[in-house]
């Protein structure tokens, strides 16, 4: 089935943001997603202040979705703990709530949603279980899940893994995390903890595979081991956490950037760049890449894809490099503890680092889109 407007593979934040931008410009993009019911993706539960601004521009109000207000960052490394104010108000919001709202917004703007499981890409043909799909261009927004034929390299000797545990609402966890996002640093990984809508707490870990292997490759045993070695983290796990499911994702290629792409294929979100999760900017990458890709397609059509990819790679390079350095420090106790001591004395450094891991799409990066509707709908 051929689509005259871009075909968007993946109805997560990147795909829906692209659909909204294209629909507002008079197009009728088609979103193809494998899940009829919106799930709750492992990553992306923290919404930074800049991401919240981007979402507001798409018609998504974090406060109206019941998101938890976050004004401070608390970091634990061994026995050391520091509290830092965030530069502006941020939010804790589940991916289920966010993705649901973005799907609704995309369809309301005029995008069409189709449910199909895409197995592979053959040029600009997406091969699904229901049918084959193609369009004037393909926007690849499948998140951390690769499609056959366009896999990202996963050759790290000790790859990063993601684990997620959701804690049920409770008075203790609400008191501990009120207005705060926490980072707990371990030897070989870290955990981020934040309250989300409804009072549940989202615990997302990024760890080296070797750390899980040392706990017999058992996620529950790993959490138990970490709780014993790190009392502050253990205090968050008090209660019935063992009864809750643990979601996992393997071989996350942190630091990878798509620096080129064939004509017609626009790679968005984690398919464009994968920033270490402690930076809290994966969502901003999704939205910024979607915005820039839509602008390039509207201005230059399918042939604009390589230019878009190179320009976005250039914008993402410095934030990913800085976030990669921060990840290296976070995963090494010998580096993390003295670094926290410096941040505690000079909190301005943390604000600078947070700012430098943000991706902004300036008008100079986007092509002139004045002729978009003329190009797409010639008379």
Closest alpha carbon to 12 in 124, 133, 108, 139: 139
Percentage above 70 pLDDT, the chain: 94
Return the pLDDT at 369.
45
Residue 196: both structure tokens together: 């989300």
Which residue shows structure tokens 């799409």?
Answer: 361
Return the pLDDT at 368.
55
237 in a domain, yes or no?
no
What phi, psi does 28 have (nearest 5°)?
-125, 70
270 in a domain, yes or no?
yes
CATH of the domain at 99: 3.50.50.60
Q: Is 264 helix (H, G, I), strand (E, B) or coil?
A: coil
pLDDT of 378 higher than 80: no
Q: Helices 305-330 and 282-300 meet at what angle, rounded to 10?
A: 170
How confident is the model over 318-355, as pLDDT tens digits? 999 999 999 999 999 999 999 999 998 888 888 888 87
111 in a domain, yes or no?
yes
Q: Which DSSP symbol is given to 366?
A: S
What region does 14 belong to: left with phi over 0, alpha with psi -120 to 50, or beta?
alpha
Q: Looking at the 3D structure of the chain, how many domains does it have?
A: 1
How far apart CA 309 and CA 262 sit, in angstroms, is: 9
With b for 16 or more beta-carbon neighbours within 10 A and e for fewer, the 338-377 pattern comes to ebbeebeeeeeebeeebeebbbebeeebbbebeebeeebe
Q: Is 231 exposed, middle or buried (CB count within 10 Å of its CB: 0-12, 13-18, 19+)?
A: exposed
pLDDT of 137 higher than 70: yes
Give the count of beta carbons closer than 10 Å to the beta carbon of residue 37: 7
Range 58-69 average pLDDT: 97
243 in a domain, yes or no?
no
216 in a domain, yes or no?
no
Give me the domain span that covers residue 269.
2-44+93-154+254-329+357-376
Alpha helices in 25-71 (DSSP H): 49-57
Return the pLDDT at 136.
84
How confident is the model over 1-17, as pLDDT tens digits? 666 789 999 999 999 99
In the chain the first and final C-alpha atoms are separated, in Å, by 25
Return the pLDDT at 366.
55
Mean residue pLDDT across the chain = 91
182 in a domain, yes or no?
no
68 in a domain, yes or no?
no
Q: CB-based contacts of 55: which residues, under 8 Å, 6+ apart?
A: 47, 61, 62, 98, 287
13 in a domain, yes or no?
yes
How confident is the model over 232-281, as pLDDT tens digits? 999 999 878 999 999 999 889 999 999 999 999 999 999 999 999 887 78
Q: What is the 3-class SS of 103-171, one letter each residue?
A: HHHHHHHCCEEEECCEEEEECCEEEECCCEEEECCEEECCCCCCCECCCCCCCCCCCEEEEEEEECCCH
More confident residue, 50 or 367: 50
26-35, 142-151, 294-303: least confidently modelled range:
142-151
Contact (Cβ atoms closer than 8 angstroms) between residue 142 and residue 9:
yes
């Amino acid at each position: 089935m051929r689509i005259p407007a871009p075909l968007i593979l993946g109805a997560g934040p990147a795909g829906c943001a692209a659909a909204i931008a294209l629909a507002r410009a008079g197009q009728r993009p088609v979103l193809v997603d494998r899940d009829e019911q919106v799930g709750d993706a492992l990553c992306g539960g923290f919404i930074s202040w800049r991401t919240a601004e981007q979402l507001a521009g798409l018609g998504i109000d974090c406060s109206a979705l019941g998101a938890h207000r976050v004004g401070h960052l608390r970091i634990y490394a061994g026995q050391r703990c520091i509290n830092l104010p965030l530069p502006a108000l941020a939010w804790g919001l589940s991916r289920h709530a966010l993705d649901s709202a973005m799907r609704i917004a995309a369809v309301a703007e005029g995008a069409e949603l189709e449910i199909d499981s895409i197995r592979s890409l053959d040029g600009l043909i997406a091969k699904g279980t229901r049918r084959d799909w193609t369009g004037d261009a393909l926007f690849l927004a499948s998140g951390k899940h690769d499609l056959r034929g366009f896999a990202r390299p996963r050759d790290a000797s000790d790859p990063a893994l993601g684990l997620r545990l959701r804690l049920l609402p409770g008075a203790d966890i609400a008191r501990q995390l009120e207005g705060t996002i926490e980072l707990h640093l371990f030897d070989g990984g870290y955990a981020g903890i934040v309250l989300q809508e409804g009072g549940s707490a989202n615990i997302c870990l990024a760890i080296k595979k070797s750390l899980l292997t040392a706990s017999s490759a058992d996620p529950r045993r790993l959490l138990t081991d970490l709780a014993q070695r790190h009392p502050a983290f253990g205090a968050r796990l008090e209660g019935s956490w063992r009864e809750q499911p643990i979601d996992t994702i393997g071989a996350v290629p942190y630091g990878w950037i798509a620096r080129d792409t064939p004509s017609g294929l626009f790679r968005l979100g984690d398919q464009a760049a994968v920033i270490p999760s402690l930076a809290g900017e994966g969502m901003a990458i999704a939205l910024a890449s979607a915005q820039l890709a839509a602008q390039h397609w509207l201005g230059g059509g399918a042939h604009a894809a390589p230019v878009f990819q190179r320009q976005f790679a250039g914008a993402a390079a410095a934030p990913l490099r800085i976030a990669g350095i921060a990840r290296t420090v976070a995963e090494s106790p010998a580096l993390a503890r003295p670094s926290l001591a410096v941040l505690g004395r000079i909190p301005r450094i943390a604000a600078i680092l947070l700012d430098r891991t943000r991706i902004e799409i300036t008008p100079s990066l986007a092509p002139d889109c004045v002729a978009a509707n003329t190009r797409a709908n010639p008379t």
